[in-house]
A = this chain, B = another copy of it.
């Protein structure tokens, strides 16, 4: 296709006329499609229904060590669950605390504890004038919402296909004592689906923070969420690398089964160094008597071991792969060569990141909505919901049925073409 940039004004106007007719047709379809959140679809949820059978009224509710999972106790998780989640996270079971149903909640609590009590004996953040977090952008809106809620200043750092721009990260972390953390989704990042390169992980592990209580918030949300079995990304395990380079306490690593079994009814976990664990357990013992061990046991019995979990993830991939491929195919078909946007092609995770021409994202999302297709709010992938380029849009292909998804993506790319063509005309107007 001919690049829109090379089209004359007349060509562009004619193009818009054609596209708008097509758009009206979509509007007449009364669509109600949603590509806004990374929600598993019904077929994916059905994959885990066996979870409901492994603990019946006849079931043995005891752990291997004799613990009755039904009663109080066991602050940081039953052993067999630590074993399973350890294999999932690539960490030793004794580096892990098993939590409730939400890793977001664990991240929130981790920031909250740092606010009120500080990290490993350091000044509570609420007593400091200013606390800053580095935020690779585009990134995950719920991460940014936590730091915003606690009044933590968020500093955007550009993402690249190999991870955050490490020169900027290194400089800020090593020179500014107010920088206390960085949000990372290291594997199949939200929203691009990028995975950090070996060099990026090595440089993270070798950070020399000015602040003793600087921590990397390593949200390994998509650690085993591959779309392809053989062509999958593999990261250097960050805790081990930190330990090897003499930086053992640098990382809090988070994960959950939310997109493995049932979102909201799974188990979450934190992996970190013994020093950090001790610090955290002293608070956790005040906060709760323990998390849901019956659900931990249920997950262990359902999967058996990590191989069971990996086989289960293949089934998710069978459902998700055609959806990702459909979105990519339609975007390719409708937008390639037009020079009005670019998008990522992840090997895993839950999102595709779309970069529109600067100044177009909000209009695109609004116009898609007017035809019944809901996208993630433009700006959501930036701290404070403000994308300075008004360019990034997160596409979440998982939830809609395949045919709906195709329709939604056709409409989306149509809208991208309309808004971009108008923007080019507009820009030429202004340049005159």
State the oligomeric state as a number of copies: 2
Q: List 22 A-B contacts (CB under 8 A).
A: A39-B71, A45-B68, A45-B70, A50-B57, A52-B55, A52-B59, A56-B56, A70-B262, A70-B265, A72-B263, A72-B264, A102-B288, A102-B291, A112-B116, A116-B150, A124-B126, A126-B126, A126-B127, A142-B286, A146-B286, A265-B293, A295-B295
Query: Shortest Cβ distance from A123 into chain B, in angstroms?
Result: 12
When distances are taken between beta carbons in the complex, the residues of chain B under 8 Å from A142 are 286, 289
- Asked if residues A56 and B57 are in contact (CB atoms below 8 Å), the reply is no
**Given pairs A72-B263, A149-B283, 7 additional interface contacts (CB within 8 A):** A71-B263, A102-B291, A104-B287, A104-B289, A105-B287, A149-B286, A265-B295
Task: Give complex CA distance A173, B109 in Å.
Answer: 30
Residue numbers of A with Cβ under 8 A of B are 37, 39-40, 42, 45, 48-50, 52-53, 55-57, 59, 61, 68-73, 100-102, 104-105, 108-109, 112, 115-117, 124, 126-127, 142, 145-146, 149-150, 258, 262-265, 283, 286-295
Nearest residue (CB) in B for A116 is: B115
Nearest residue (CB) in B for A265 is: B294
Q: A42 contacts which of B68, B262, B283 (Cβ < 8 Å)?
A: B68
Q: A40 contacts which of B57, B71, B290, B295 (Cβ < 8 Å)?
A: B71
Query: Shortest Cβ distance from A384 into chain B, in angstroms?
Result: 14
Task: Give complex CA distance A105, B39 in Å.
Answer: 27
Task: Give complex CA distance A146, B146 in Å.
Answer: 23
Q: Would A57 and B49 be within 8 Å (CB), given that A73-B264, A265-B292, A293-B264 are in contact?
A: yes
Query: Shortest Cβ distance from A69 into chain B, in angstroms?
Result: 8
Task: Give complex CA distance A59, B101 in Å.
Answer: 21
Task: Give complex CA distance A109, B102 in Å.
Answer: 15
Q: A68, A69, A117, A262 — which one has the most chain B CB atoms within 10 A of its CB?
A: A262
Q: A37, A56, A289, A290 — which one has the most chain B CB atoms within 10 A of its CB?
A: A289
- Asked if residues B292 and A292 are in contact (CB atoms below 8 Å), the reply is yes
Task: Give complex CA distance A430, B236 in Å.
Answer: 71
When distances are taken between beta carbons in the complex, the residues of chain B under 8 Å from A104 are 287-289
- Asked if residues B70 and A263 are in contact (CB atoms below 8 Å), the reply is yes
Query: Shortest Cβ distance from A105 into chain B, in angstroms?
Result: 5
When distances are taken between beta carbons in the complex, the residues of chain B under 8 Å from A145 are 286
Nearest residue (CB) in B for A149 is: B286
Nearest residue (CB) in B for A259 is: B72
Q: A71 contacts which of B100, B264, B288, B289 (Cβ < 8 Å)?
A: B264
Task: Give complex CA distance A262, B290 in Å.
Answer: 12
Task: Give complex CA distance A108, B126 in Å.
Answer: 18
When distances are taken between beta carbons in the complex, the residues of chain B under 8 Å from A45 are 61, 68, 70-71
